[in-house]
Structure 1
Amino acid sequence: MEINPPVAIVLLNESGRTTANQLQALFPDALIHGLAGRVKQADLTFQQTALHIQELFRAKTPIIGICASAILIRCLAPVLANKLAEPAVVAVADDGTNIVPLLGGHHGANDLAREIAAALNGHAAVTTASDVHYNIALDSPPEGLAIANSQHLKSFMSAVLSGETIKLVGHHDWIAHSNLPFSDAGQLNIEITTQSRTGNDRSLIFHPKTLSLGVGCERNTDPAEIIGLVKTVLDENNLSPLSIGCVSSIDVKSDELAVHSVAQYFGMTPRFFNAELLEKEAPRLKTPSDVVFAEVGCHGVSEGAALVAAGETGNLIVAKHKSKRATTAIALATDPLKSNNIGNAQGKLSVIGIGPGQDLWRTPEASHLIAEATDLVAYSLYLDLLGPSIAGKTRHDYGLGEEETRVRAALDLAAKGKNVALISSGDIGIYAMATLVFELIQHEKKSMWDRLDIQVTPGISALQAAAARAGAPLGHDFCTISLSDLLTPWDVIERRIEAAAAGDFVISFYNPVSLKRRTQLHAAKEILLRHRPDSTPVIIARNLGRETESVAFVSLIDLDPEQVDMLTLVMVGSSESQIAETNSGNKRWVFTPRGYAGKMKISTLKTGTQV
């Protein structure tokens, strides 16, 4: 069973941990949402149960709550509004013995409950009348079938439960094999067709997704033009938009906004084929074009794409239609189309920073993109830090020092239509992989890389993590400097240190030392001592956000570069940076004043208030 968006497994207590892990194994894309302070490890954590569950519900996220049914009912009662738009909500007992679909029964909850029950050897407490009496939920058709007039279901089913019979027009196994009371002389009607029909409370219309829509367009075509063309062609041929099972085109259009827009209009993502595959359909084209062949290498884009997607037994039922800058054609497949199994999607590369690695410091956007990805590319340690959240995904592990190899691999995988996550600790845009992605694209000019959907998402950097652990050392102007001279000459680095020292910036030193490089931090210390006091606080932060984390303060004069390793960030305060102490735990904090104290003093003098 495919559920989109991914299921949220809501865990409120460790007593349900075993069940949560079993559910995540059943639904590999699902994330475990754990209540902070009650759940030890989760993909996402939350503080307020009701608000978090309501937020998931509003986002139409299917929810599996490992808790009492009453908890979910009380949490969601304030946001219940539209029965036809609610996601699946299922309550599961801590031990997995009882599974109760609470909301969205005919939008996946009943099937979800049955699937969970089968996997956990539990009992699915399904209570909806059509499921109980007829072994079918007409408002929850399977993939590949859509109902046109769900608003009439209630009155239709009332008539069935009152004893009226149904005449079936057309065929679909899911409906035909149910226990519905069919009769050739039925008073009610169920019709299965690709044609547009207007149903009513006596007649339900179902549309099989057997129409394959091929599209083509000139570069930068207005999306409204291609959408308008497709709608006109559907209307002229009396075809239902609900029967469209795939929207496809040639791969050189995989980055074309108009193509993505028309697919999105019909609720799907476009699929793409190369010219060689499209050209194999030349004998079946109704309007082959030598001009198109000269341009892209096949004799027809929209007709060819429609036919390839429909398969060998499909037929072209609407030949190419043209607008000023776009074309479309429609083929009919013998079976419902599964768009995600056809051709290739536009390749996606998510360039992701995961912060120090711990779940609490990973952004929801990063977790979401990782959950969506099919392939993960990273230094092995970074993938290990993600734990069970990447179960079922293809790992591409690389060692240290293989940065360019990693990025090339990620770009090439995405160019094959994969959804790829290139992952780095910290913020991937700070001394990390993001810049190399764009350098390679810019310098190598590979068309297959140019067509990728690229998204960069930030992570908590070592700079931010160290500052948070230490207090507020970045309260005023600051900068970062990498002491690695592998890619930047030392004389350039030295000039930057001198300038930052003279400018009295708080300085975060990345890559302060390595096994072979031990002198640079010594040199930096000497430069800084010429510009700021010996007592300037220095923060030495190692393995931030991990079990072996350590954060220590020393004065600049006492900084010993030989005690620093390659997993350490060194942050040197400005001449204004200070150390404060709090009584709780005798805690010391470093902060850099921004000038608020002076401002408050001026305000006090103006008002005459004594402090």
Structure 2
Amino acid sequence: MSILLEQFSSLCAIAPTSKAIKTLQPLCNRSGITLFVPDDLENFTPNTVTYKGKLSQHLEEIWSQYQGIIFVFATGAVVRLIAPLLQDKKSDPAVIVMDEAGENIVSLCGGHQGGGETLSRCLAQELGGKAIITGASASLNLPGIDVIGKPFGWRKGKGNWTAVSRAIAHQKPVAVIQEVGSTLWQNHLPENHCFQFETRETEAQVIITDRAVEINPQLSQVLWHPRVLWVGIGCERGTPQNVIQEALETTFKEFGLSESAIAGLATIDIKADELGLVELATEQNYPLKTYTPEELNLVRVPNPSSVVAQEVGTASVAEAAALKVAQASELVVNKQIFKSDQGAVTIAVARSRNEYIGKSGQLYLIGTGPGDINQITPAARAAITEADVILGYGLYLDLIHSLQRPGQIIERYAITEEKKRAERAISLANWGLNVAMVSSGDAGIYGMAGLVFEELTTENWDGKTPAVEVFPGITAMQAAAAKIGAPLMHDFCAISLSDLLTPWNVIKKRLMAAAEGDFITSLYNPRSRSRTEHIKIAQQIFSKHRPPDTPVALVRSVSREDEQITLTTLQEMLDHPIDMLTVVIIGNSSTRQHHHWMITPRGYLGFQP
């Protein structure tokens, strides 16, 4: 499934011409997007859905069925078509307008809450076009205030969202009062942001809380509710849903808590089939966590009960379950007991340090190629743009800066922090975020993919959660070969001369085997400041099996601004600068140099190596 569908549960596109169909159909086929075409084009191509009559009538029929609608029309025509259907930005689909070639992709409506800005960026990366974003927040490189909590599963509360968005657009100071929830979003704002984190003396305020807060009509305020509150519940067998619901509502009202901040419910395992509890969890889309008496007995609670212990084998259900699931040491609300003619309910509430996101995270292992952003695959570019978090070595992040969008969490690591990087990526994905781990070249060739998979297996990964997708990239070896002609046209291999992870005696065996086997050989990491002899030994090994005039290419910083290409020979290769950014390609016995090109015959003209 395409990553476009990870955020958008249902998308459709409307193409009125054969050229528009040709542009969109490959994307629609691989992404599961429904492609509507007028009935006079039904024979033009398969895998489309035709509509008859006026488009305005068809649009009215499908308007509420899709989360996003992509039009290949003139912007003015789309404005007239959708005008009668627009009701509220909370419920209207995202509307995208693009030209027939997919060169300009406009987020017309539903840019923030509908996800139109993200969708237009993803489409631009998939189609090789340009996303046209006209929102004020985007121009300030800021996430929309009405979407900052979306990656973390926060729930929107009351407030004047338009007024606060206007204050941000005018760059007026906006106070952020964050009592709970992740502050990661704060750490990745542009330098010129208008948010104030240490004062409340502003007319515009963003309050991030698990409390039930009344909006001040004299101020421009909005509420976000991170899902940090876990509700422990015990009840008599057969207690109906409405009684449990009433007990929960009464507790939250009495203690000034917001039900929007509820992460889920927890109880003892014998209540896993309690109908009223299951119905409540299902109706409100709450996870229901259950624990054995033995697990609950290990939790220290303020109000243990010997009566409960005799009945179910543990001295506490509600309090212990709440503390256990929240991994907390104290309760926000000690147990409250509610009795009625229909049953009895016990409620306790604990606050988790981390909010419940409510979805499974994704791990995108991305190869960004050798450095030229145009050499990154469309799928990889879309994954980078769509991700909540991007992790990588600082240099690699700089190279993909233009693919990043406002609101993303960007974490930079030193080149020696690979393990730390992998652990962090897995942790964030397990939490529920979509994480892009970028490597230069191909992530699976001397990149981060192998280490991430190794770390996952040590954590007893089930192979499914978090979901992992690998996006291949052009390796430095491939890019270097393309710059100098066709040196890899026969059997070849790649060998890294770095002995940080591989013993030098093993590397020497591989060099000798490659040299003796007449493989075209690409050497990675040929020389560092502290490791200067390995490349000399490699040259000596190959010189025993190949003539001195064997062509050798030295390609440094391939596809980057400071690219340097040197064509030389095996005998003279050490007379030229070689460092960690250099790829060394040593030809085989048939490789030839022709002017400024390096060519290995494949054998089509009769010559065999």
TM-score under structure 1 length normalisation: 0.50
TM-score under structure 2 length normalisation: 0.50
